[in-house]
C-alpha cells in the first residue's frame, strides 16, 4: 500500500505544472496589481505594470526567441503605442489593438524596405507609403497588404504610374510615364494596357487620343503631330485607314463625340480648334512656312499663382515650339539676355506692350511675343500675344485653357499656343 502511495505521489509531482515566478505588487485579492516582473518557465519575461492580474499599462515583454515588445498593454494584450523588434532586425513602431498592429505605424524590413502608414488587423490597410533601398516608392491606398485604390508608383529608373490599383496590380484608369518621356493614359487590367480608349504622348510631343487594341492604335482616334497636322479618323495597327477623298471621313468633332458616347470616362480632346486650314479634304491642319522667316523674340511670361521656375520652363518650351513651326526665326533666350544686359536693361517684370516693344527694338526683331500664365484651381490659362515692334500694335492673340497637371500643359499646351499664333 505504501509503495502504491509513493508511486502516486511521484506521478503527481512529475505532472505538476512548471511554476511561474512573479515579483511585484499585489492587490487585496492576491492578483498582480501595480508594478511587477513575471518570469515564465521557458525564459520569457514581462517587466511592467499590471491590473487585476493582467498586463496593463506600460511594459516590456522579452520572448525566448529574442524578440521584444516595448509599449502599452490593456487586458493582457498589446494595445496603444508600442515597438516590436524581431530577431531579424525588423522593427514595427506604432499603434496596436488587441495584440495586432492597428492604426498608424512604421515597419522597417531587414533588406531596407520601409512601410509607413495605416494598419488594420496586422496588415497594411488604408493610406501608406512603401519605399525600397533602390529608390522605388509607392504612395497610396492599401487593402490587406496589397495596393488597392488610388496610388502612385515611382520606379528607380524614373518611370511612374499614377492611377487606380486592385489586388496589387494596376487596374482601372491610370497614367504611366516612361523614363523616355513617353506617357500613356487609359484603362489598365492586371498591369496591362486594356483594349479601349487611351492617350499616348511621345517625347517629341506627338500625341494620339483614341481607341487601342493589343497595344496599338485601333479604332476611332485623333493624331496630333508636332508640326501641327491633325489626323482624325479610323486607325488600324497604328496606321491611318480613312480614305482621303471619302465624303464620310471623320472630323475631329465627330471622333470626340464618338469617344464621349462610347467611353463615359472620356472628358474630351482638349485641343484648340483650328482657324486656318489647308488640304481640308485630308483632314489636316497645316500651314506651310513662308519663304522669308520673321525675326521674333519671346519675353518671359508673367506668372499668376505659379512659380517663376514653372513660368520660365513653359516660356522656354514655347520658344522651342515656335521654332518647330518653321514660321519664325526665334532669338535664343541667352542671346536676348546678353544683348539686354549690354544695354543695361532688365526684362524681369516687363509685361506691357510698351515695354515689350522697347525690348524688341533693343534686340532688333520685327515682332515680339509675351503674355501670362495663370492657375485657378486645377485650371491653367495661357494668354499670349504677338506685338509688331515697329507699330506697337497687337497682331495676334491666342488663349489656351488646360485642366490637369502642368506637365501636360508643357508637352501639349505650349505647342498648341505656337500653332495658334501662326494660324
User: 235 with 215: CB under 8 angstroms?
Assistant: no
Range 369-373 average pLDDT: 93
HSE-CB at 35 with a 13 A cutoff on CA atoms is 1
pLDDT given at position 17: 57
Range 11-35 average pLDDT: 79
Identify the residue with better confidence: 293 or 74: 74
Q: Any idea of the CA torsion for 63, 69, 73, 76, to the nearest 10 degrees?
A: -20
pLDDT given at position 195: 79
When pLDDT is cut at 50, 70 and 90, the band that residue 347 belongs to is low
pLDDT given at position 247: 39
Identify the residue with better confidence: 150 or 18: 150
What average pLDDT does the chain have?
Answer: 85
User: pLDDT at residue 105 above 80?
Assistant: yes
Range 54-68 average pLDDT: 96
User: pLDDT at residue 374 above 60?
Assistant: yes
Same fold, 106-190 and 294-422: no
Burial 112-129 (b: 16+ CB within 10 A, else e): eeebbbbbbeeebbebbb
Look up residue 280 and give its DSSP letter. Answer: G
When pLDDT is cut at 50, 70 and 90, the band that residue 13 belongs to is very low
Find, among 412, 304, 292, 317, the residue nearest to 369 by Cα. Answer: 317
Burial 35-65 (b: 16+ CB within 10 A, else e): ebebbeeeeebbbbbbbeeebbebbebbbee
DSSP string, 167-193: TTEEEEEEEEE-TTS-EEEEEEETTEE
pTM over 0.95: no
Range 55-68 average pLDDT: 96
CATH no. of 294-422: 3.40.50.10610
pLDDT given at position 288: 59
When pLDDT is cut at 50, 70 and 90, the band that residue 272 belongs to is low
Range 20-31 average pLDDT: 94
User: 44 with 64: CB under 8 angstroms?
Assistant: yes
* 106-190: CATH topology: 2.20.110
Structural domain boundaries in the chain? 18-87, 106-190, 194-282, 294-422
User: pLDDT at residue 14 above 50?
Assistant: no
Lowest mean pLDDT among 55-69, 70-84, 249-263: 249-263
pLDDT given at position 16: 54
Lowest mean pLDDT among 99-103, 169-173, 248-252, 260-264: 248-252
User: pLDDT at residue 408 above 90?
Assistant: no
Find, among 184, 383, 386, the residue nearest to 272 by Cα. Answer: 383
Helix (H) or strand (E) holding 77: strand 77-85
User: pLDDT at residue 348 above 80?
Assistant: no
Give 149-194 pLDDT, tens digit per residue: 999 999 999 999 999 999 999 999 899 999 988 999 888 889 888 7
CATH no. of 18-87: 2.20.110.10
Lowest mean pLDDT among 129-138, 146-155, 268-277, 355-364: 268-277
Amino acid at each position: 500500500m505504501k509503495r502504491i502511495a509513493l508511486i502516486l505521489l511521484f506521478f503527481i509531482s512529475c505532472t505538476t505544472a512548471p511554476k511561474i515566478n512573479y515579483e511585484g505588487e499585489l492587490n487585496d485579492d492576491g492578483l498582480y496589481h501595480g508594478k511587477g516582473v513575471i518570469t515564465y518557465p521557458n525564459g520569457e519575461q514581462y517587466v511592467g505594470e499590471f491590473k487585476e492580474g493582467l498586463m496593463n499599462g506600460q511594459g516590456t515583454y522579452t520572448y525566448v526567441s529574442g524578440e521584444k515588445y516595448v509599449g502599452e498593454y490593456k487586458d493582457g494584450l498589446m494595445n496603444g503605442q508600442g515597438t516590436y523588434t524581431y530577431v531579424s532586425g525588423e522593427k514595427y513602431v506604432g499603434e496596436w489593438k488587441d495584440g495586432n498592429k492597428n492604426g498608424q505605424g512604421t515597419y522597417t524590413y531587414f533588406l531596407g524596405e520601409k512601410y509607413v502608414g495605416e494598419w488594420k488587423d496586422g496588415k497594411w490597410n488604408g493610406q501608406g507609403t512603401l519605399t525600397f533601398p533602390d529608390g522605388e516608392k509607392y504612395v497610396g491606398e492599401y487593402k490587406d497588404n496589397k495596393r488597392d485604390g488610388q496610388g502612385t508608383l515611382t520606379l528607380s529608373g524614373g518611370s511612374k504610374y499614377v492611377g487606380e490599383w486592385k489586388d496589387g496590380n494596376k487596374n482601372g484608369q491610370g497614367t504611366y510615364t516612361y523614363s523616355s518621356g513617353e506617357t500613356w493614359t487609359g484603362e489598365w487590367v492586371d498591369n496591362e494596357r486594356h483594349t479601349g480608349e487611351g492617350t499616348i504622348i511621345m517625347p517629341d510631343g506627338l500625341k494620339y487620343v483614341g481607341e487601342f487594341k493589343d497595344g496599338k492604335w485601333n479604332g476611332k482616334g485623333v493624331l496630333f503631330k508636332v508640326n501641327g497636322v491633325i489626323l482624325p479618323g479610323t486607325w488600324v495597327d497604328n496606321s491611318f485607314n480613312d480614305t482621303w477623298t471619302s465624303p464620310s471621313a471623320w472630323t475631329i468633332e465627330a471622333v470626340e463625340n464618338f469617344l464621349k458616347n462610347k467611353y463615359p470616362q472620356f472628358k474630351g480632346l482638349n485641343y484648340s480648334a483650328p482657324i486656318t486650314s489647308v488640304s481640308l479634304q485630308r483632314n489636316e491642319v497645316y500651314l506651310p512656312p513662308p519663304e522669308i522667316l520673321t525675326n521674333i523674340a519671346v519675353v518671359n511670361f508673367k506668372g499668376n499663382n505659379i512659380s517663376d521656375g514653372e513660368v520660365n520652363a513653359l516660356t522656354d518650351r514655347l520658344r522651342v515650339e515656335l521654332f518647330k513651326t518653321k514660321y519664325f526665326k526665334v532669338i535664343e533666350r541667352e542671346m536676348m539676355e546678353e544683348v539686354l544686359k549690354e544695354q543695361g536693361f532688365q526684362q524681369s517684370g516687363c509685361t506691357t506692350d510698351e515695354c515689350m516693344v522697347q525690348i524688341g527694338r533693343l534686340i532688333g526683331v520685327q515682332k515680339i511675343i509675351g503674355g501670362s500664365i495663370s492657375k485657378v484651381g486645377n485650371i491653367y490659362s495661357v494668354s499670349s500675344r504677338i506685338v509688331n515692334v515697329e507699330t506697337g500694335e497687337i497682331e495676334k492673340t491666342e488663349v489656351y485653357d488646360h485642366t490637369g497637371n502642368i506637365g501636360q500643359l508643357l508637352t501639349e499646351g505650349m505647342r498648341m499656343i505656337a500653332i495658334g499664333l501662326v494660324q
